[in-house]
Structures are given as structure tokens and as C-alpha cells.
Amino acid sequence: MPDFFAPIREATAIRVRDEHKLPIAIVGAGEIADLAHLPAYREHGLKVVGIMDLDRERARAVAARHGIPRVYESTAEIAQDKDVVVVDIAVFPWVQGGIALPMLDAGKHLLCQKPLSYDFDEAVRLVEHAEKRKRLLAVNQQLRYSESVAAARAMVKAGWIGKPFEMSWDFHVYTPWENWPWVAKQPRLDLNQFTIHFIDAVRYVIGDPVYAYGTQAREPGQPEQGETRTISVLEFEGETRAVLKSFHKNRAGDPRAEFRIDGTEGSIRGTIGLMYDYPRGRADTLELNSRVLPTDGWLHYPVTSRWIPTAFIGPMAALLEAVAKGGVPLTNGRDNLETLRIVRALYRSGEEHVVVKLR
């Protein structure tokens, strides 16, 4: 049987060249740095020279666990460290800007966490400041690099489903938001923290929408402040459309975390394994039904890695390459503003019950 998928595997493989492995310092030794950033960086032999957290014990424990040589006392110490080229920020969204600006002034390139900010205007200021300082700012929207999503996009780009005209994300899961007390306290939750990934992935596969409308809701009596149920619709030029549904209160034991892309010559469908058993997860699935390739029925694509931690090498690898060679990383801040613009439009749509024109 011909190996149709060899070019897809090649297009999604990430290799970091030794000359791109510039020194990195991390701000924030929280769960995501510990479970995702650092394991992915270690797998690729990246050079993490130090870490800092307001919680010094936590910083020391994470440094010991991942063999990081230095624990900084403050962010100022990182800014002053001439050896540090890239700063990887993984703190709460509302403190990110206050750390990022002085780092840019000190000449550091940044990988910021998503959401870049809860406040769209602040996100714009950060991106403009990076441009003014001629430093690169990338955002950790690493779902684009998750193997199932990256492979699906590569299949679309190869023309295997013709022109894509419909993309859907359907999450009916139980998410224990109480594990992140700061998230549970936010007045806005799902779109800002979760669906933002899938909006970004829609943009990656289909492009930028023209209209957005959405509705956000809670579960009666839920402890979280923000929305835990959302439906979002994005309309593109022509009749192309994306629909994103998130429901985080499935206690029935039948989780669903699916995506699908339909095109004029075929379809792609997949599942996001992480959401079936967070944070352990299981492998994603991906299948292709193409009238372009000489196949009959659904063809299984063997996904070999998980979103967490594997995809977390993607944004950092692209940033390091851009710093070393020139160019801009895929998930650069300017691009990310378009994802944030959609999030902002959807909240406005839900609050005012209107369709929001994006461009």
C-alpha cells in the first residue's frame, strides 16, 4: 500500500537545529511550565538557563525536577542577565503585560502565554511595543502544532479535501476548573481560556472570518464565575463557516471532543485525546475521506504524540528559529491579535445579542 502520509509526517515533524538553541529563562513555575513547556524543551535539548516564580519554593522544586541551573530572585534579574536571549512567560494573564514590557525594553525576545491579555487594547500595546523595540513576541497557541491539527492542516494544504468550506469543534466534556482556582474566579472563562485554542486553529486551517456571533452561558449553580457553555459561529467569505461548541459540565461519563473539516473533495475528522482524560489524556485520532486520493472510505492517520507536552515545542522552536535566522514565528503577536479580536467579538455578540463584523 502506498505511504500517502509520508509528506504529512514530514510537514508536521519539528526539529530544532543546534544553532537555534539560544538561552531561555522562564518566568512562572506553574503547572503548565512544569508539565508542558519543560518536558517538551528537554525532549529537544533546549537550553533553559534559569527560572523565576514569586513562589520561590515552587521555582526551586521545578528547577530541581528539570535540571535548570539557576533560580532567579526577580524578573529584573532576568532582564539584566545578558546571557538570556528568550524569556518564556507562563504566569496569570493579567500580570503578563507588566513582565513583558520591561523584558522587551531589556532586549529580550518573548514567548507569552495565551491569552496574551484579557484586555484587547493591552495586547495591542504589547505587540506594538515589541515591534518598536524590534524584538519578537510569539504567543503559545501551540494547538497549531499538535499533531492531529497540524496533520489535518497539511492535508488541507495538499488539496486532499478540495476547498474546505465547513469546520466544526464539538466539546462535550467535564473540565475540573476548580483545579485552577484563579481561572474559576474570572468573570469570563471558556472563550478566553479554552475555545481560544480552537478559534486559533480554525484561523490556521481556513483563514480569517468576516462575521462572528456567539452565545455564552453558565450551568445553574456552578461555582465558576465565568461561562462554561459556549456556541460560536464564524462566517467567512462565500459560504464558508465554522461552528465551535464547548460544554464543560458533562458528568454522564460520555465525553466528546471532536473536530471535522468538510471540503469540496472530502472530509477530515478527529478527536482531541487530552479532553477525554485531562491531564493524562490519550492519543488524538485523525481520519481522512478523500476523493482526490485513490482510497475508498475513511483512512486512519496514525497520530503518535499528544497535545501536552509534545506540541509545546512548536511555538518556542519557531521563535528560536526566527531569532536565529530572521523572519517571524507562526504564532507571532501581530497574528495573535486576530484570534483575540474574534474572542472579543464573540463576547460582545453574546452580551449584546448581535452579529459582529470583523473586517
Ligand X SMILES: NC(=O)c1ccc[n+]([C@@H]2O[C@H](COP(=O)([O-])OP(=O)(O)OC[C@H]3O[C@@H](n4cnc5c(N)ncnc54)[C@H](O)[C@@H]3O)[C@@H](O)[C@H]2O)c1
Give contact residues for ligand X (rule: CB under 6 A).
27-33, 52-55, 58, 90-93, 95, 99, 113-114, 140, 142, 180, 182, 193
Q: How far is CA 222 from CA 219, 227, 229, 255, in A?
A: 5, 10, 11, 19
The 10 Å Cβ neighbour count of residue 269 is: 17
Residue placing its CB nearer to ligand X in the complex, 116 or 320:
116
Environment class of 167 (CB within 10 Å of its CB; exposed 0-12, middle 13-18, buried 19+): buried
Q: How far apart are CA 9 and CA 15, in angstroms?
A: 12
* Closest CA relative to residue 114, chosen from 212, 168, 36, 60: 36
Give the nearest distance from C-beta 131 to ligand X in angstroms. 22
* Spatial contact of 292 and 162, defined as CB atoms under 8 Å apart: yes
Residue placing its CB nearer to ligand X in the complex, 53 or 147:
53
Give the nearest distance from C-beta 180 to ligand X in angstroms. 6
Output DSSP code: residue 113.
P
Give the nearest distance from C-beta 45 to ligand X in angstroms. 22
Q: How far apart are CA 46 and CA 23, in angstroms?
A: 8
Residue placing its CB nearer to ligand X in the complex, 115 or 214:
115
Which residue of the chain is nearest ligand X when measured via CB? 30
Residue with cell 463584523: 357
The 10 Å Cβ neighbour count of residue 151 is: 23
Residue placing its CB nearer to ligand X in the complex, 145 or 160:
145
Query: Within a 13 Å sphere around the CA of 336, how many CA atoms are in the beta-carbon half?
Result: 36
Give the nearest distance from C-beta 92 to ligand X in angstroms. 5
Residue placing its CB nearer to ligand X in the complex, 190 or 262:
190
Give the nearest distance from C-beta 226 to ligand X in angstroms. 13
Give the nearest distance from C-beta 175 to ligand X in angstroms. 12
Residue placing its CB nearer to ligand X in the complex, 24 or 29:
29
